[in-house]
Amino acid sequence: MIGKQEIFETVKMFGEEKLDIRTITMGISLLDCADSDMKKSNRRIYDKITKKAENLVKVGEQIEKEYGIPIVNKRISVTPIAIVASACENINNFIEFAKSLDEAAKITGINFIGGFSSLVQKGFTEGDKKLIASIPEALSSTSKVCSSVNVATTKAGINMNAVRQMGQVIKKSAELTADAGGLACAKLVVFANAPDDNPFMAGAFHGIGEAECVINVGVSGPGVVKRALEQVRGADFGTVAETIKRAAFKITRMGQLVALEASSRLNASFGIVDLSLAPTPAVGDSVAEILQEMGLEQCGAHGSTAALALLNDAVKKGGAMASSYVGGLSGAFIPVSEDRGMIEAVRCGALDINKLEAMTCVCSVGLDMIVIPGNTTAETISAIIADEAAIGVINNKTTAVRIIPAPGKNVGDMVEFGGLLGSGPVMSVNPFGCADFINRGGQIPAPIHSLRN
């Protein structure tokens, strides 16, 4: 039985500690929408999404009102379009598919739709080639479509041809949205070991092994964890870990309640609860401030990687005790532009891209919402992706890069994106060349520990 104290604690989490359901994401399979005729396929895609998700926003708002739980975003993820569109004959690019997704997103009233995606960890199909070439125009000509490309897995190794191409795609995407600081790049993620059930944008897609229609919920509560740690200042790390676990348990239970309610009302399968400490630009909603509460003067100081490792592990342990269906990217995100504490750490010189890369070895994702100078070469961007993919492949974990070469911007400038994307300080990159390395191409083989079967 739930006691009064637990009720008061939960109310306080919402009112004072910025706890929220970051997203309800409906995953929709589009495998049955494939057709040799592009127009027929697009019509099927539009019709299926608008039918399946017609009540998604309404149900989310009902749950918010009935339970008093803030639900920030309602989103959709779909089967990677490179797979669905490959059945079409005689088309050179997939822009029409992106536009169909965008129109479906607008009519359903959701925030974003993910799945303009391709899985090329071991090679390209013709559909993959066409989709990847279409990404810059697709993201610059739509408002709600998000894209992702998986270039590596622990089982397959790293597709360096794809890595090379994604550097070029990111540069072009930034150039096409130069008037908005390269905003298209904020809707594009390059993955290693991408999960099939991720509810968070921009990397969400509906994996081919998933059910016809599922509800995945993403929960976020950096403020809750920070406030809990304030109560144990000076305690040893065992106490710190236990405190984080308890907070994560409460957050996850709330997320599972919402997921079950939403899936029942929408006649969809319950997928997973993704317990990710995803920050926002709001005061008191920062992962960096959690690390500082552990005793660091600034995020990025020596000890930051160890502190983040403890946080990530404790969050997952607490979540796993609360639900048997914790998945996605559960852990802690460290996006720069979306976290006030991270921005301040960059501004004062405590945090740079090299330290961020080290921290990605133990966080949930990778280099996230990093703004770099607009004159950074495509080869350097590809090399950053390769480094991050290597961390994921060798450590058998998900890593990703969402990086923005802001046109016309230099180190120290600020780039405004607005909303949850916040604003990002332009960070320096290593000036030494890597073009010869990137232009080798080919496949970096899978590590020896991939031979587990």
Asked if the model's pLDDT at residue 4 lies above 50, the reply is no
Q: Which two tokens stand for residue 73?
A: 């975003």
Q: Which residues contact 179 (CB under 8 A, 6 or more apart)?
A: none
* Residue 187 within any structural domain of the chain: yes
State the pLDDT at residue 131. 95
Q: Which pLDDT tens digit goes with each residue over 356-383?
A: 999 999 887 889 899 999 999 999 999 9
Q: Is residue 164 part of a domain?
A: yes
Q: Could you read off the pLDDT of 180-198 as tens digits, one per residue?
A: 999 999 999 999 999 999 9
Report the number of distinct structural domains present in the chain: 1
Supply the range of the domain harboring residue 263.
Answer: 1-447
Please indicate, yes or no, if residue 258 is contained in any of the structural domains.
Answer: yes
Q: Judge whether 453 lies within some domain.
A: no
Q: What is the DSSP-derived secondary structure letter of residue 358?
A: H
Residue 71 lies in a domain: yes
pLDDT value of residue 282: 72
Q: Residue 295 in 3-state DSSP? A: coil
Residue 131, in any domain of the structure? yes
CATH for 100: 3.20.70.20
Q: Largest alpha-carbon pair distance within the chain?
A: 66
* Residue 325, φ and ψ in degrees, nearest 5: -125, 45
How far is the C-alpha of 434 from the C-alpha of 391, rounded, in Å? 18
Q: Is 13 a domain residue?
A: yes
Give me the phi and psi of 208, to 5 degrees please: -70, -15
β-strand partners of 326: 273
42 within some domain: yes
What pLDDT does residue 14 have?
55
pLDDT at 416 over 60: yes
Q: pLDDT-derived band of residue 13, with 50, 70 and 90 as boundaries?
A: low
The model's pLDDT over 115-138, given as tens digits with 9 standing for 90+, comes to 999 999 999 999 999 999 999 999
Q: What is the mean pLDDT of the chain?
A: 90
